[in-house]
Amino acid sequence: MPNENFTVDTIKTVLPQLSKLASRVKKIPNGKETKLEISEAIEVCFINASDLINTTKDYKDIIKLTGKWHLQIKNNEVHSHFARISYDKEKAKWQINSFFESAIPALINSGLNWISKNIKGDVTLKLLEIPTYFLTALILENIEGVRVLVVHKPESLAIESFKLYTFNDFRGFFQSIKPIQGVK
């Protein structure tokens, strides 16, 4: 029976599913055949906008794990796709929930490279999504605390990409911004 905790074997269990999806991927512009490769796996979490601006709650109380993992996928060395996987308890196996071609994997890869060059020591990483603000970031946890590196955001959001923020400074940025409430 597969392990519901993410391990190296998890990647092996989703590779056949990824192979089936590869047939849907168009050739890259130079005409090379599709060659998909998983380069990274990052646990996905999110924060609700209301929790983000509620400064009475601690980081550990507002971060929500999704149960999904983000797989960075390269096509012939270009980070062009990603998949989201989760463990299906009923089927007792890991499965791909979604598979996309996107610019986001290249931005995440740039963030990972930035971290490799600028952060010393061991770091625990999570992929943070804040749907209300269409924001994607990397959360870094180490002995220096919790920090955030924004890798994707709308142009209208004035927070800087590829700048490392303490979690409190990151959170403080959103205190004066109203979340999107929907269309009337």
Residue-wise pLDDT tens digits, 60-116: 999 999 999 999 998 888 898 899 999 988 888 889 999 988 999 999 999 999 999
Total residue count of the chain as it appears in this document: 184
Give the Cα separation of 52 and 54 in Å (integer).
Answer: 6
Query: Is pLDDT above 50 for 28?
Result: yes
Query: Is pLDDT above 80 for 27?
Result: no
Lowest-pLDDT range, 62-66, 161-165, 171-175? 171-175
Query: Is pLDDT above 70 for 4?
Result: no
Query: Is pLDDT above 90 for 55?
Result: no
Tokens of 12: 């092996």
Give the Cα separation of 137 and 166 in Å (integer).
Answer: 13
Helix (H, G, I), strand (E, B) or coil at 130: strand
Per-domain residue ranges of the chain: 8-26+33-176
Query: Is pLDDT above 60 for 126?
Result: yes
The C-alpha angle with vertex 56 and arms to 68 and 46, in degrees rounded to 5, equals 15
Query: Is pLDDT above 60 for 1?
Result: no
Phi/psi class of residue 31: alpha, beta or left (left: φ > 0; alpha: ψ in -120 to 50)? Answer: left
- For residue 183, what pLDDT band results from cuts at 50, 70 and 90? very low
From the number of C-beta atoms within 10 Å of its C-beta (0-12, 13-18, 19+), residue 179 rates as middle
How are beta strands 36-46 and 124-130 bridged, if at all? parallel
Query: Is pLDDT above 70 for 51?
Result: yes
Nearest Cα neighbor of 50 from 159, 183, 180, 160 is: 180
Q: What is the pTM of this model?
A: 0.87
